[in-house]
Structure 1
Amino acid sequence: MLLSQQCFAKSSTVDQEKLLDLYQNQKYAEAALYLRNIYTDNTNNQKALIQIGYCFLMASNNVEAEKYYSKAYQLQPQNLSILFSLGNISTRRGNQQMAKKYYGEIVKIDSNNFSVYKLLANLYHSVKDSMRSVYLLKANRLNPNEADIAIDLAEVHGVNQEYEKAYHVLDVAIKADIENLVLQRTKLLVANQLKKYQEVITSGEILLKDGDDATVIRDVAKAYYYTKKYDQAIKHFSKLEKLLMQNENTLYFTCLSYRYLKNYKMAAIYAKRTIEEAISPNTASYYALLGLTYEENNQFKLANAAYKKGLQFKATPTLYYRLATLYDTKLKQPKPALNYYKLYLGSKPNAEDDQVEIKFTKERIAQLNLAY
């Protein structure tokens, strides 16, 4: 009784109006210091400890917040509010194991707490982690209408190629929030996997009224292709090109669409574009590096083959110069060397960066012309 009276006496010295003003102006650091000065560090008043810890937490002072919440935890280890706060602080500080410990204690106290399962699932970042799946399933059973959990669980099902399960999870959540566009877009991806092409087209066209979304456009375009509506497929694939979001796959389907429409001219154009898209712009450079490695190891035939393979992807000044010097200095074949030196100059090397090579090439061409 005496202790209660002392705590009450202490709390009665708090200027509630001043504290409220600090809260309203989001001056949480000042509020924490104000309360700490009143209660002192030796207080065992649990409400005061939680309040000070909360203020430090809102002020992003996680170290001080953890100190006060930990003290409150020692006084009442099964307090859900304290456990949630300590789990939150541990997550902020990157201590995943401590966060799992605190949230795990909540599960023991309240096995039907949706929020804690959601938080636990987020501590397992890999979609393939079995524990992430376990917690998402529990959270979804407790609240199947929650959109974030439905989307995350559908992603897990998708990775495991359980598309029917993913579709069902999203379908339930969408019925509870029919206008949730994130859910709709996620379901569209799954519907495509399940070959529900008409649904993809219908839902996708509605979504596109809200604005161009490259993922939606791609899925709708493919759905048109698979339902043999090739004109519509081309129309939507063209939208991706306007957005500069085309890739090897979309160009390939565009090529096929033109082919089925017997527009062979455009089919050929898109076949070439598909090939170009599939090849890395750095491929020629990679072969140049491979060739140089062979050359430095005195594997001249392999070096020659690597340089020429690089030319099939892109005729670069570097490849021409390497071939010229290889034939000239290593293989002792002046005629092809002369030819590649000329090709090097014709490929317009950078006058500033390659001035040494350009000067050498011109001199060497003059010497070879005199000799042969």
Structure 2
Amino acid sequence: MMKIGICLCIVVSCFNTITAQSAKIDTEKLLEYYETQRYADAAQYLQSIYPGDTQDVKALSQIAYCNMMAGKLPEAEKNYIKINTLQPNSLSTLFSLAGINSRRGNATNAKTYLQQIIQLDSLNFNAYKQLAIYAETPETKLNYLKKAHSLNSIDPDVAYDLSQTYSGLKQYQPAYDALKTAIASDTENFTLQQALLPVANQLAKYPEVIEIGEKLLKNHADVNIMNDMGQAYFYVKDYQRCISLYKILEDMGVQNEGTLYFMALSYRELKDYNNAAIYAQKTIDEAISDHTTLYYAALAGIYEAKNQYNDAVTAYKRGLTFGTSNIIYYRLGLLYDLNLKQPKNAFTYYQMYLKNHPDQEKEKDQIAYAKSRVSILK
């Protein structure tokens, strides 16, 4: 928003200066283009008046701005680069170039222009705020955000990003402090209050989580709010409220391993052992990926490639504890048959493969081979 505001100021000042100096510009037509946001037409009109090699910085600024607003970013960049050559170290020009490169996905150039800005103005809040976007490590991002925060501690975007970065580094107290400072200046900022909940949970500020969460739920029944509140209710030993919130999530189909785990513990604390057992099993089921068997099959295949056949068998069998798998049955058959020379085990797993209804079309070669080996090994 600041970038656009700066550019609008340029347009107004340039327009007044240019119209005062040149009778060739139809001011009413140009104003109409601006008012109706026909920036491409405005740029084309200005380019028809000024020669392509013009050195007039104010005219170039107006043309560059119109092209940028029209989405003609290569043209806008070309003009801003020319301006930067004629009149270097202009913050507004550097911000425009950074913005154009950001929109075009050229992070390297955007970062370069922003770094030029902080070299010229080491206290430029917006430059630090934008540089954080391009940080390559959490630590670098944190440094940029801390600098921006020191310059404007109540900016909600910076407070939010700073808290998220601190949390990612498990530095929960400074994450909490950053959010509390921004919230104090905007007590109705629900986004910041919601971001505070998981951080406050980490700091065991459970009553605060509950108080804020209940207020937020009146505004919007967000699943993340209920998730954070459920944990807080558990730790203050209001087990029934914890179960009630997480039951809502389960009914919505958005339960997860954590919510089911807290439900199991809550039922246990209430001595409802039947439901505790049910939700303990649900927790286990939720924690197991549908692809776990495939992951173990991949691991076993690596062991096979290294001729570590016993390790491969262990990995394959471990995969089967998470569910049946035609791939594993077939691979175990091959492994026992061809490498470990254990025909009885090979026969068993070939049989299990065939009985598990492999796809007749996609696995016809494997089916044929397994049948032939069963016939021989029998």
- With normalisation by structure 2, the TM-score equals 0.83
Is 1:186 the equivalent of 2:195? yes
Is 1:230 the equivalent of 2:239? yes
Is 1:115 the equivalent of 2:93? no
Whole-Å separation in 2 of the counterparts to 1:302 and 1:103: 54
Larger Rg: 1
The one-letter amino acid paired with 1:169 is: A
| Further displaced range: 237-246 or 13-22 | 237-246
Segments of structure 2 that go 5 or more residues without pairing to the other structure are 1-16
Q: Secondary structure at the match of 2:321?
A: helix
Match of 1:91 in 2: 102
- Does the 8 A contact of 2:19 with 2:27 survive in 1? no
- Does the 8 A contact of 1:234 with 1:254 survive in 2? yes
Whole-Å separation in 1 of the counterparts to 2:291 and 2:103: 41
Change (3 A) 1:9 1:293: closer
Match of 1:30 in 2: 41
Is 1:15 the equivalent of 2:26? yes
After superposition, give the CA deviation of every residue in 1:20-71 in whole Å (9 maximum; x if it has no partner). Answer: 2222333222211210121112323222111011111112222222232233
- Does the 8 A contact of 2:95 with 2:113 survive in 1? yes
**Which of 140, 144, 167 in structure 1 is aligned with 2:149?**
140
Residues 209-358 of structure 1: pairs in structure 2 closer than 5 A: 209-295=218-304, 299-358=308-367
| Further displaced range: 272-281 or 290-299 | 290-299
Displacement after TM superposition at 1:256 (Å): 1.5
| Further displaced range: 137-146 or 328-337 | 328-337
Change (3 A) 1:49 1:297: closer
Match of 1:176 in 2: 185
The one-letter amino acid paired with 1:286 is: Y
Segments of structure 1 that go 5 or more residues without pairing to the other structure are 1-5
- Does the 8 A contact of 1:233 with 1:254 survive in 2? yes
Q: Secondary structure at the match of 2:78?
A: helix
Is 1:58 the equivalent of 2:105? no
Whole-Å separation in 2 of the counterparts to 1:297 and 1:90: 48
Match of 1:72 in 2: 83
Is 1:127 the equivalent of 2:138? yes
Whole-Å separation in 2 of the counterparts to 1:149 and 1:118: 7
Whole-Å separation in 2 of the counterparts to 1:364 and 1:138: 70
The one-letter amino acid paired with 2:196 is: K
Is 1:48 the equivalent of 2:63? no
Identity of aligned residues (%): 47
Question: Matched residue pairs, number?
Answer: 362
**Which of 211, 215, 225 in structure 2 is aligned with 1:206?**
215
Change (3 A) 1:358 1:206: same
Change (3 A) 1:301 1:134: closer
| Further displaced range: 108-117 or 44-53 | 108-117
- Does the 8 A contact of 2:293 with 2:319 survive in 1? yes
Change (3 A) 1:258 1:83: same
